[in-house]
């Protein structure tokens, strides 16, 4: 049943990790203690979450960038609008890299022709869609000029679970792939935790900047609820000892205004890959979640 009252703001989030429960139980207490009736629904995948948002089962969705693309397309096709009202400071101006082994006779993207390139899950913006679009822009057609080695860990989570990227990095180390596509932050983390032996790899290509998650407000949501949620969210302080552990779990040091300009590259990559059509219908035949 869709929401039929507007006293409590209901948020949707995807349970990509057990810590999601800890995060939203904590944030729920934070919002309620500050006068905003708040609850949340956990979804097993972003596709269901987007559909629930558009159907009115939740007011706001904590969306991946790919989920934002689908929500915006579905809303537009229905003559409606969704809004990106807030995001993390760490969601802005990210990049993905193409990594090879240091001893490989590969120095440019062109040298990857005929090679095996490991990527993350099929629905990962940062480890599949965006870097594959980048490689295509550089003149290499996925599946034609090189073999795509996918690592479909927890499909439906849109790459939030980094298992697919870690498996991609491991394939590079083991020699079953000639290159790996990773978000820059995970590349650095994999070197630090020795998934990638320090000094054993190097970057030969990098995508342009793009943005990651946002809080997406569904059509027709009461503006007073949204404004209170927005103001409390942006008012959170990393210096507050009561909320800092939750912000650390969520990978944020400050919430900021949402923006959509950083999704243009992904929007084009979705079309290029045939992942969704213009109405937000899933058109990628190999995507199972």
Residue 175's pLDDT is 97
Domain-embedded: residue 182: yes
Residue 6's pLDDT is 63
**Residue 171 and residue 121 in one domain:** yes
**Residue 115 and residue 181 in one domain:** yes
**Residue 73 and residue 102 in one domain:** no
Residue 3's pLDDT is 63
**Residue 221 and residue 177 in one domain:** no
**Residue 125 and residue 56 in one domain:** no
Residue 2's pLDDT is 59
Domain-embedded: residue 2: no
Provide the residue-wise pLDDT of the chain in tens; the chain has 289 residues. 456 556 899 999 999 999 999 999 999 999 999 999 999 999 999 999 999 999 999 999 999 999 999 999 999 999 999 999 999 999 999 999 999 999 999 999 999 999 999 999 999 999 999 999 999 999 999 999 999 999 999 889 999 888 899 999 999 999 999 999 999 999 999 999 999 999 999 999 999 999 999 999 999 999 999 999 999 999 999 999 999 999 999 999 999 999 999 999 999 999 999 999 999 999 999 999 9
Domain-embedded: residue 57: yes
**Residue 112 and residue 175 in one domain:** yes
Domain carrying residue 130? 96-206
Residue 5's pLDDT is 52
Domain-embedded: residue 63: yes
**Residue 41 and residue 177 in one domain:** no
Domain-embedded: residue 228: yes
**CB of 165 within 8 A of CB of 159?**
yes
pLDDT digits (tens, 9 = 90+) for 223-246: 999 999 999 999 999 999 999 999
Residue 100's pLDDT is 98
**Residue 108 and residue 81 in one domain:** no
Residue 147's pLDDT is 98
Q: What is the pTM of this model?
A: 0.94
**Residue 189 and residue 241 in one domain:** no
| Domain boundary residue, one of 206, 222, 251 | 206
Domain-embedded: residue 17: yes
CATH number at residue 72: 3.40.190.10
The domain tally of the chain equals 2
Residue environment code for 150-186, b if the CB has 16+ CB neighbours within 10 A, otherwise e: bbbbbbbbbbbbbbbbbbbbbbbbeeebbbbbbbbbb
**Residue 125 and residue 266 in one domain:** no
**Residue 147 and residue 114 in one domain:** yes
Residue 94's pLDDT is 98
């Amino acid at each position: 049943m869709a929401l039929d009252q507007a006293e409590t703001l209901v948020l949707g989030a995807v349970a990509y990790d057990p810590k999601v429960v800890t995060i939203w139980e904590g944030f729920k207490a934070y919002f309620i203690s500050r006068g905003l009736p708040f609850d949340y629904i956990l979804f097993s995948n972003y596709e269901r979450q987007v559909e629930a948002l558009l159907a009115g089962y939740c007011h706001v969705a904590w969306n991946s960038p790919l989920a934002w693309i689908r929500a915006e397309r579905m809303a537009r096709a229905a003559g409606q609008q969704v809004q990106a009202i807030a995001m993390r400071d760490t969601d802005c101006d990210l990049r993905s890299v193409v990594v090879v082994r240091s001893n490989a006779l590969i120095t440019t993207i062109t040298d990857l022709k005929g090679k095996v390139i490991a990527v993350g899950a099929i629905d990962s913006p940062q480890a599949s869609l965006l870097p594959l679009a980048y490689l295509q822009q550089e003149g290499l057609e996925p599946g034609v000029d090189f073999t795509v080695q996918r690592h479909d860990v927890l499909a439906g989570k849109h790459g939030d679970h980094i298992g697919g990227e870690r498996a991609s990095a491991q394939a590079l180390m083991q020699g079953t792939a000639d290159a790996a596509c990773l978000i820059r932050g995970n590349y650095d983390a994999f070197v630090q935790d020795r998934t990638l032996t320090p000094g054993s790899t190097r970057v030969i290509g990098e995508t342009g900047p793009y943005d990651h998650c946002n809080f997406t407000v569904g059509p027709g949501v009461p503006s007073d609820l949204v404004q209170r949620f927005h103001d409390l969210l942006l008012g959170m302080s990393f210096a507050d000892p009561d909320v800092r552990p939750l912000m650390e779990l969520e990978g944020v040091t400050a919430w900021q205004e949402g923006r959509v300009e950083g999704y243009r590259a992904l929007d084009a990559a979705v079309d290029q890959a045939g992942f969704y059509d213009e109405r937000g219908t899933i058109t990628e035949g190999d995507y199972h979640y």
